Amino acid sequence: MLASAAALAWLAGTVGLIRPAQAGPDPFQEKPAGEPILIGEYGSLTGPEATFGQSTHNGILLAVEQFNAAGGLNGRKVEVRVYDNRCNIQEVGTVVQRLINQDKVVAVLGEVASSRSIAGGRICQKAGVPMITPSSTNPQVTQIGDMIFRVCFIDSFQGYAAAKFARDNLKMSRVAILYDQAQAYSKGLRDDFKRAFTQMGGAITTEQAYTGGDPDYSAQLNNIRASNPEAVFIPGYYTDAGNIALQARKLGLTIPLIGGDGWDSPELANIAGPAIEGAYYANHYAPDQPTPEVREFVRAYRERFNAVADGMAATGYDAANVLFDAMKRAKSLSGKDLAQAIAETKNFRAVTGTITIDANRNARKPAVIVQMRGGEPRYVATIEPPEQ
Amino acid sequence: MALRPTPINPSQTPTGPTPTLPHDHLLALPRSLLPLLAGVGLAAGLHFYVGPAVGPFYAKLLIDIGIGILLANSLNLVNGLTGQFSIGHAGFMAVGGYTAAAITYYGSMRLWGSPAVHGGFLGSGELLFAGSCIAGGLVAAVAGFIVGLPSLRLRGDYLAIVTLGFGEIIRVLLQQTGDVLLTADQVRETPWWVLPTKAGGALGFTGLPYYTSLFWVYFFVTVVLIVSLRLKHSSLGRAFLSIREDEIAAEAMGIPTTRLKVTAFMLAAFFAGIGGGLFAHEIGVTLNPQDLGFQKSFDIVVMVVLGGMGSISGVTLAGGLLTVLPEILRSLADPAVAGLAAIFPISPQTQDELRQVIGSNFRMILYALALIVMMIGRPQGLFGLHEIWDFRWPGRRRSRLSARGAP
Amino acid sequence: MPKFVQTLVDGLSVGSLYALIALGYTMVYGILKFINFAHSDIFVLGAWISLAAAVGAGWSTTGQFLPVPTWLWVSLCGLTGVALLMTAAQRLIARFVHAEPDRLTAQVASAGGCHPSPRAPARGPSVLTGAVRGFLGWRGARTLTMASLAAWLPLLLYHAAGAVRAAAGPELSAAPGGVPICAAGLLSALLVLLCAVSLVGWVGFGIERLAYRPLRTAPRLNVLITAIGVSLLLQNVGQLQWVFGTQPRRMPSLLPDVTLARLAGVNIHLVDVIATGTAVILMLLLERLVFHTRVGRAMRAVSFDTRIAALMGVAVDRVISFTFVLGSSLAAAAGFLYAMKYPGLNQSAHMTWLLLGLKAFVAAVVGGIGNIRGAMLGGFLIGLIELFGAAYLSPQLRDVYVFSLLIAVLLLRPSGILGRVAVEKV
């Protein structure tokens, strides 16, 4: 009993130590010009999947700076409050709660990894705060409710795009799959590719699995070679894709490799070197796409961060811009109105294509296929979403 | 049986008659239930008054603290009282959590057709949840038996590796499971023994109802605290402590060390399973295998080590403190960097990096340094084997001590 | 048949790396009777430092990734300068203050902090004064000088590697796969290896001195916890942006990508041969050291019984430090070879490294922990089992095979294959 009482008394003191950022008055009411609008961002800025979170954060930062420089929302600047959840699911809940309840943000820009987006999304839905995820591709994310939106394609479309490219452009009919059993993204994309490819008349020769980070793929690659495919579909992250490409070449496997948007990173060429030359992957955008939005974005990003913008940065940039566009059109900044405005986004010219938010709150836009040439991803083709 | 702790050192045993009731007295049973009732009352108070008063963010923090205390005390039973070094505790959390999740989710689907929260406070939904947590604990205890029996026969170092390996095997196996079934019809068609294999795999068990509330968390915290305190001062607890002090001497005195070590292990796994069940149904959490790995086990180990292995109050304090430490560091990051920037000339880029380091990386580095420094400087942790009320606080009346027969 | 030979080759190659790491575990366990959890992080550190050294020595065209920071230069210069000054000062003091000092007396006197004058002060010097005098005394100065000179060794090797490679000129193409066989290239690679080994050896020495030595007499549980703390410290410091960062990186190929032979339809690559060969050579050297030299005899004596060995005149502290340095060096060499074989290095806190370390530990246990030949045997055994299991059963469950083997060994023969059943006397 004494322990509980002492513990509680001490708890009260410690909890008082937690002083989150200044929670201003209710942002939904009209405020005098000059009061910044707070938006929240949560992502994994440290930990094993930090690179995606960092890129997304950079993209959002660039968008916010450009928006503020252009005058903001009727003179009111936007301020982004970013919290790192360290690739830890328990912290996702805490930081999203913090953003919503303590910092009182009007909208949340959410995670890369689908499981974390789902966790944060459920809280946002319950609290009535709109959330836009820049790059979570699992369909379950937007199925949470009418506050959750997405500006990238979903895995079923990505699988379809890769399958269509393999079938129609590369004229392949036998493909093997090598997927990461520890990543839901990889397994989901595998399922979607398989479904689409077999529907188009192709055949999957074998499915082999690895655990992300494993260095040795010789067993799986030998099995793949024995099944005699024309290409290998590798729906994993770039870290493993690079290693797989290296080992495949070492084993003498020269057939083309196809991947998904998880391959998109400047490090892919660094890791794999010439082994990845000629490989294809589906992505949100290509840095050398001839559209003016892409050119402008790549230039601005390089100026600000001294680096090449990858797909995550582009989708982060687009998510923020979609939000700003919706804020301009919305009747007010309350959750319902803002969500309605986001849902009404039509033909918004973004870096990653022209975005229209469909009835399922997903973005209806094309995917691009890029090929690694000279250590850089080069634009090859655009795959449009099928008519529905 | 009074709750006042009896001293461990035999020279301090009370010399006079102790004012306690004999065990078969009529009023003994209600008196022994007093702490439990008080705990339930406290939990209800937290749930109905404190929770709504402090807002959802602090309420979630209190829930996290409660779960942390529960897990730390469960590990204390093995690491502290019995002196065995287990670092795969999160594996038992995973086993218990997934069992509880499967029962709640598929049970709700079967009974009410949807996995949403059903019924109010202490309604049928919450009772299902409490039952599934306890079931999760039981399954975790069985897992503890399976893991403990071969490895506890051997030297302590091996237990650490085996528990670590066990955690990894659980993670790999959980990742192989199939997608969660989403509609009630699908659930009805599937035979019940297939349902546990539909646990979501690497994406995690999505769609779980948020049953974890302040009441249930602190209810189970009360249970584990009472069990730990009573255990520590019972003969079983003394047997555990004797194993911790000198296993060979204990064996020589006739204590069945292997059996007792396995018992402690199973008890710890039981409470870890309950903790896992509470964790699975917490707001904002998607139960997935990656998050219940070595990192989580290590967090719990740090709580036990820093609090003092064997000290229940110490472990409780450490568990609570270390759960909120990330938030404190997060709050401190901005002012700290601003303060540093006022003294030294730091570029904004470096300021960002510093903010990130203090807010995020620093926590783990702090833990690691704290462990090393603790072990070298004060290996008994905060309180050692004593409780917070065993110390001579200033202002404590001498008479109380002499009544207990202190020399 | 080709699959069998391929798996055999891969298994032996990976097994040799496991054996090198297991040796470190087993030596430390034999001497100090505890499992050094931080050992796998030493291995990771070795891999990353070889990457940094290789890149810094000019092996990659993507630019300097980890140049030697200014503060390191300044500290090393400062440290060496201070040490040399102190040594010189001590000699001067000894010459002029104690006329004709007996060296031994001066040593003892200054180490004890007492002034050898007939009018000794009534009260002895305070602890602080004694410590300061001891530190500034002859022994302190000497140790500091040796330490600071030794600290330059990795840096010098690093620059030597760069110089050799630069001297080889433009014919050493930096594109992986295009590196021709060249004596200068091999020499430079060897220097990179030695640089990584010496630096990580230092780290191992430091860890032992700072974290484990104070706990020499403590219960084993405390040391285990400290080891975990050290392991996490190494991981998380390695993850900082200023150190190695969170991005995976590729180790540049220091060796040409040629196929040496074709055996039963399987390509044998130069990298594999060199990695396995180096590992085997190191193991043979270790065997020679431990079983045929005085130092090795001292190590074995300390592993039998520390106190009796001390009574017999073995410098126990030094032997233990030496064992740690040796174990860490072997792990660093394993890290370098691993980086050459699997060039994509994950960030230092990644799960892969943890699993590798665990498997190496399982190898040590299977072979008989405390037994050096057992560790080597165990390493190869684990490598073969893992690769054969992955090739012929399911590749997803490769970790499960290794841990099942651990559980089986613990159930049936806990002392391992070559281990002795130790009877504990009370």
Q: What is the DSSP string of A18-57?
A: ---S---S-TTS---TTPPEEEEEEE--SSTTHHHHHHHH
Across the interface, whether the CB atoms of B284 and A93 are under 8 A apart is answered yes
The pLDDT, as a whole number, for residue C174 is 47
Across the interface, whether the CB atoms of C224 and B158 are under 8 A apart is answered no
Residue A99 lies in a domain: yes
Which of A9-18, B351-360, C311-320, C386-395 has the lowest average pLDDT? A9-18
Radius of gyration of chain B (CA): 23
Residue in chain A lying closest to B311 (CA): A3
Task: Kindly state the average pLDDT of the residues C373-397.
Answer: 88
Report pTM.
Answer: 0.81
Residue in chain B lying closest to A3 (CA): B313
Q: Is the pLDDT of residue B2 over 50?
A: no
Is A315:A135 a contact under the CB 8 Å cutoff? yes
Task: Kindly state the average pLDDT of the residues A284-299.
Answer: 87
As a whole number of angstroms, the distance between CA B303 and CA B292 comes to 16
Cβ atoms within 10 A of the Cβ of A258, count? 26
Q: Does B365 touch chain C (CB under 8 A)?
A: yes
Say how many Å lie between the first and final Cα of chain C, rounded: 55
Positions of E strands within C245-341: 249-250, 259-263, 266-269
Across the interface, whether the CB atoms of A118 and B204 are under 8 A apart is answered yes
Across the interface, whether the CB atoms of B283 and A123 are under 8 A apart is answered yes
Coil, helix or strand at residue A207: strand
Indicate whether A255 and A133 sit together in one domain.
Answer: no
Q: Which of B159, B153, B120 is nearest to B301 (CA)?
A: B159
Q: Is the pLDDT of residue A27 over 50?
A: no
Q: Is the pLDDT of residue A2 over 90?
A: no
Q: Output the CA angle C77-C83-C84, nearest 5 degrees.
A: 90
At A208, which CATH number?
Answer: 3.40.50.2300
User: What is the band of A179 on the pLDDT scale with cuts at 50, 70, 90?
Assistant: very high
- Chain C nearest-CA distance from A210, in A, is 6
Task: Kindly state the average pLDDT of the residues C38-54.
Answer: 89
Q: Is the pLDDT of residue A35 over 50?
A: yes
Which of A64-78, A298-312, C138-152 has the lowest average pLDDT? C138-152
Q: What letter would DSSP give residue A306?
A: S
Coil, helix or strand at residue B187: helix
Tell me the CB-side half-sphere exposure of residue B306, using CA atoms within 13 A.
24
Indicate whether A308 and A274 sit together in one domain.
Answer: no
Across the interface, whether the CB atoms of A138 and B203 are under 8 A apart is answered yes
Indicate whether A21 and A146 sit together in one domain.
Answer: yes
The pLDDT, as a whole number, for residue B100 is 94
DSSP B323-338: HHHHHHHHHHHHHHHH
Residue B252 lies in a domain: yes
Task: Kindly state the average pLDDT of the residues C389-416.
Answer: 82
Cα dihedral sign, B293-B294-B299-B304: positive
Which of B8-12, C84-88, C398-402, C414-418 has the lowest average pLDDT? B8-12
Q: Is the pLDDT of residue C297 over 90?
A: yes
Across the interface, whether the CB atoms of A213 and C350 are under 8 A apart is answered yes
Contact partners of C by the rule of 3+ C-beta pairs under 8 A?
A, B
Sequence-ordered alpha helix ranges (H) in B357-394: 362-377
Q: Is the pLDDT of residue B107 over 60?
A: yes
Q: What letter would DSSP give residue A75?
A: T
As a whole number of angstroms, the distance between CA C34 and CA C227 comes to 9
Residue A388 lies in a domain: no
Coil, helix or strand at residue A264: coil
Give chain B's domain count: 1
Coil, helix or strand at residue B243: helix
Q: Which of A45-54, A206-215, B212-221 has the highest mean pLDDT?
A: B212-221
C327 Cβ contact partners less than 8 Å away, ≥ 6 residues apart: C23, C24, C25, C27, C28, C36, C39, C42, C204
Task: Kindly state the average pLDDT of the residues A249-253.
Answer: 82
The pLDDT, as a whole number, for residue C341 is 85
The residues with which A94 forms a beta bridge, in sequence order, are none
The pLDDT, as a whole number, for residue C69 is 64
Q: Is the pLDDT of residue A201 over 80?
A: yes
Which positions 268-307 of C are in contact with A (Cβ < 8 Å)? Answer: 269
Residue B18 lies in a domain: no
As a whole number of angstroms, the distance between CA B403 and CA B384 comes to 24
Q: At B234, list the tokens.
A: 């019972």
Q: Is the pLDDT of residue B225 over 90?
A: yes
- Chain A nearest-CA distance from B153, in A, is 32
Across the interface, whether the CB atoms of A48 and C351 are under 8 A apart is answered yes
Q: At B338, list the tokens.
A: 């601003």
Q: Is the pLDDT of residue C238 over 90?
A: no
Task: Kindly state the average pLDDT of the residues A215-240.
Answer: 88
Indicate whether A100 and A217 sit together in one domain.
Answer: no
C412 Cβ contact partners less than 8 Å away, ≥ 6 residues apart: none
At B190, which CATH number?
Answer: 1.10.3470
User: What is the band of C120 on the pLDDT scale with cuts at 50, 70, 90?
Assistant: very low
The residues with which A178 forms a beta bridge, in sequence order, are A208
As a whole number of angstroms, the distance between CA B105 and CA A142 comes to 21
User: Which is higher by pLDDT, B190 or C130?
Assistant: B190
Is A258:C46 a contact under the CB 8 Å cutoff? no
- Continuous segment of H or E residues that includes residue A258: strand A257-259
Across the interface, whether the CB atoms of A246 and C343 are under 8 A apart is answered yes
The pLDDT, as a whole number, for residue B73 is 95
Q: Is the pLDDT of residue A17 over 80?
A: no
The pLDDT, as a whole number, for residue A160 is 92
The pLDDT, as a whole number, for residue C108 is 56
Task: Kindly state the average pLDDT of the residues B336-346.
Answer: 77
| Residues of C in Cβ contact (< 8 Å) with B162 | 406-407, 410
Q: Which of B293, B268, B264 is nearest to B88 (CA)?
A: B293
- Chain A nearest-CA distance from B346, in A, is 18
Is B268:B88 a contact under the CB 8 Å cutoff? no
In which residue are the tokens 């989901």 written?
Answer: A188
Indicate whether A108 and A160 sit together in one domain.
Answer: no
Indicate whether A343 and A202 sit together in one domain.
Answer: no
Between the alpha carbon of residue A360 and those of residues A3, A106, A144, B10, C51, the distances in Å are: 51, 22, 10, 71, 47
Residue in chain C lying closest to B381 (CA): C222
In which residue are the tokens 């897992």 written?
Answer: B143
Q: Is the pLDDT of residue A338 over 70?
A: yes
Residue B102 lies in a domain: yes
The pLDDT, as a whole number, for residue A24 is 39
A253 Cβ contact partners less than 8 Å away, ≥ 6 residues apart: A221, A224, A225, A232
**What share of chain C in percent tops pLDDT 70?**
80
User: What is the band of B353 on the pLDDT scale with cuts at 50, 70, 90?
Assistant: low
Q: Is the pLDDT of residue C386 over 70?
A: yes
Round the average pLDDT of chain A to a whole number and report it.
84
Range of the domain at A56: 5-153+291-357
- Chain B nearest-CA distance from C141, in A, is 26
The pLDDT, as a whole number, for residue A318 is 93
**What share of chain B in percent tops pLDDT 70?**
85
Across the interface, whether the CB atoms of A218 and C248 are under 8 A apart is answered no
Residue A206 lies in a domain: yes
Range of the domain at B167: 33-291
Indicate whether A213 and A340 sit together in one domain.
Answer: no
Q: Which of A138-147, B78-87, C286-295 has the highest mean pLDDT?
A: C286-295
| Residues of B in Cβ contact (< 8 Å) with A61 | none
Q: Is the pLDDT of residue C96 over 70?
A: no
Is B209:B116 a contact under the CB 8 Å cutoff? yes
Tell me the CB-side half-sphere exposure of residue C28, using CA atoms within 13 A.
32
As a whole number of angstroms, the distance between CA C111 and CA C139 comes to 7
Give chain A's domain count: 2
Task: Kindly state the average pLDDT of the residues C222-231.
Answer: 87
C332 Cβ contact partners less than 8 Å away, ≥ 6 residues apart: C42, C43, C45, C46, C49, C50, C196, C197, C199, C200, C201
Q: What letter would DSSP give residue A73?
A: B
User: What is the band of C134 on the pLDDT scale with cuts at 50, 70, 90?
Assistant: low
Task: Kindly state the average pLDDT of the residues C54-65.
Answer: 62
Coil, helix or strand at residue C121: coil
Cβ atoms within 10 A of the Cβ of B8, count? 16
Indicate whether A266 and A295 sit together in one domain.
Answer: no
Tell me the CB-side half-sphere exposure of residue C387, using CA atoms within 13 A.
27
Indicate whether A236 and A375 sit together in one domain.
Answer: yes
Q: Is the pLDDT of residue A128 over 80?
A: yes
Residue in chain B lying closest to A183 (CA): B202
Indicate whether A149 and A165 sit together in one domain.
Answer: no
User: Which is higher by pLDDT, B395 or A338?
Assistant: A338
Q: Is the pLDDT of residue A73 over 70?
A: yes
Q: At B207, list the tokens.
A: 């769609």
Across the interface, whether the CB atoms of A17 and B328 are under 8 A apart is answered yes
- Continuous segment of H or E residues that includes residue B216: helix B214-232
The pLDDT, as a whole number, for residue C63 is 42
The pLDDT, as a whole number, for residue B93 is 94
Q: Which of B134-143, B391-400, C129-138 has the highest mean pLDDT?
A: B134-143
Q: What letter would DSSP give residue C397?
A: G
- Could you give the angle at which helices A89-97 and B51-75 cross, rounded to 10 degrees? 160
Q: Does A168 touch chain C (CB under 8 A)?
A: no
Indicate whether A309 and A343 sit together in one domain.
Answer: yes
Round the average pLDDT of chain C to a whole number and report it.
79
Sequence-ordered alpha helix ranges (H) in chain A: 2-17, 50-69, 89-97, 114-127, 155-164, 184-199, 218-227, 238-250, 267-272, 292-305, 311-329, 335-343
Indicate whether A55 and A127 sit together in one domain.
Answer: yes
Of the partner residues A45, A119, A140, the one whose CB lies closest to the CB of residue B356: A45
As a whole number of angstroms, the distance between CA B131 and CA A360 comes to 37
Of the partner residues A3, A14, A181, the one whose CB lies closest to the CB of residue B321: A14
- Continuous segment of H or E residues that includes residue C344: strand C344-345
Q: What size, in residues, is chain B?
A: 407
Across the interface, whether the CB atoms of A267 and C10 are under 8 A apart is answered no
The ipTM estimated for the assembled molecules is: 0.77
**What share of chain A in percent tops pLDDT 70?**
90
As a whole number of angstroms, the distance between CA A294 and CA B239 comes to 71
Q: Is the pLDDT of residue A26 over 50?
A: no
The pLDDT, as a whole number, for residue B10 is 53
Number of helices (H), then strands (E), belonging to chain C: the values are 15, 4
Q: At C82, list the tokens.
A: 């201070």
Q: Is the pLDDT of residue C98 over 80?
A: no
Residue A335 lies in a domain: yes
- Chain C nearest-CA distance from A128, in A, is 35
